[in-house]
């Protein structure tokens, strides 16, 4: 059974009245954990699409950049998205259950939120309703405010991102401390680390953009320190 067939079965259980708690309880361990992560991205992505009222071609393309869907699985993938979009459960309930599943693995919650940012900004517009949605989900996930700002700085094209904000550090920190933060972020973004967290291989594509931004921010900070 392909991952999309397993995902369809899990979403179908939700729409047939089984509770979120019961469905996600079955998906807590590998390899089904990757199914849970994918459902989380699809379900919250579908709910976010309702936030601004429009599902654009760019957003669909962005989704496909993360999840490579074989032709034979396209119908299942579409069914999953439509089930999640029409499910009566609110996004807060999905987000809360996902937090319960990954609360001891906050980095996975970070990866999931990054996937939502990737989809939301695919059309180059950060709609106010999407902004409110993403901030609310980050709070439900229990992610620190400065980490949310760091992610926003990497994705939202409203101004040149401050390198300190991108790394989640402050200008008054010692350069050695900032270097340690940068190294930790690079280590957490390594493909092997992401696979170890039980993420589907496709989700690792999200890390490419993150790693570029992290390294660019460190180069800028380190360069200024060397000149200063």
Write out pLDDT tens, residues 90-121. Answer: 788 878 878 887 788 788 788 888 888 887 88
Does the CA dihedral 100-106-108-110 come out positive or negative? positive
CA distances 40 to 47, 147, 168, 174, 223, Å, are 10, 20, 25, 38, 39
Q: Answer whether residue 159 shows pLDDT above 60.
A: no
Higher pLDDT, 179 or 14: 179
Nearest to 2 by CA among 49, 24, 35: 35
Q: What is the pLDDT, as a whole number, of residue 103? A: 81
Helices and strands counted in the chain (H then E): 13, 0
- In this prediction, residues 16-23 reach a mean pLDDT of 66
The model carries a pTM of 0.66
Q: What is the pLDDT, as a whole number, of residue 142? A: 92
Percentage of the residues of the chain whose pLDDT score is greater than 70:
63
Q: Answer whether residue 88 shows pLDDT above 60.
A: no
Number of structural domains in the chain: 1
- Range with the poorest average pLDDT among 82-96, 151-165, 214-228: 82-96
Structure tokens at 146: 């400065």
What pLDDT digit, counting tens, does each position of 142-152 carry? Answer: 988 888 888 88
Q: Is 145 helix (H, G, I), strand (E, B) or coil?
A: helix
CB 95 within 8 A of CB 44: yes
> Cα separation of 7 and 37, whole Å?
10
Q: What is the pLDDT, as a whole number, of residue 122? A: 75
**Cis omega before residue 31 (within 30°)?**
yes
> Cα separation of 8 and 25, whole Å?
16
CB 216 within 8 A of CB 80: no
Q: What is the pLDDT, as a whole number, of residue 89? A: 64
Structure tokens at 60: 């669909």
Stated as kind and residue range, the H or E segment containing 107 is helix 106-120
**DSSP code, position 54:** -
Q: What is the pLDDT, as a whole number, of residue 221? A: 92
Domain encompassing residue 160: 3-227
């Amino acid at each position: 059974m392909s991952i999309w067939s397993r995902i369809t079965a899990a979403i179908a259980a939700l729409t047939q009245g089984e509770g979120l708690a019961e469905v996600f309880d079955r998906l807590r361990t590998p390899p089904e954990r990757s199914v849970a992560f994918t459902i989380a991205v699809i379900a919250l992505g579908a709910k976010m699409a309702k936030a601004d009222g429009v599902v654009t071609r760019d957003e669909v393309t962005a989704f496909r950049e993360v999840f490579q869907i074989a032709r034979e699985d396209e119908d299942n993938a579409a069914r999953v998205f439509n089930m999640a979009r029409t499910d009566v459960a609110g996004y807060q309930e999905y987000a809360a259950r996902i937090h319960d599943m990954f609360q001891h693995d906050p980095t996975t919650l970070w990866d999931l939120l990054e996937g939502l940012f990737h989809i939301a900004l695919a059309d180059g517009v950060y709609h106010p309703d999407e902004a409110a949605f993403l901030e609310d989900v980050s709070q439900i996930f229990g992610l620190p405010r400065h980490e949310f700002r760091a992610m926003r700085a990497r994705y939202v094209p409203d101004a040149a991102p401050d390198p300190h904000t991108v790394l989640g550090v402050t200008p008054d920190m010692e350069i050695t401390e900032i270097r340690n933060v940068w190294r930790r972020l690079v280590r957490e973004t390594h493909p092997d680390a992401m696979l170890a967290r039980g993420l589907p291989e496709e989700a690792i594509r999200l890390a490419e953009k993150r790693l570029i931004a992290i390294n660019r921010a460190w180069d800028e900070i380190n360069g200024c320190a060397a000149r200063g």
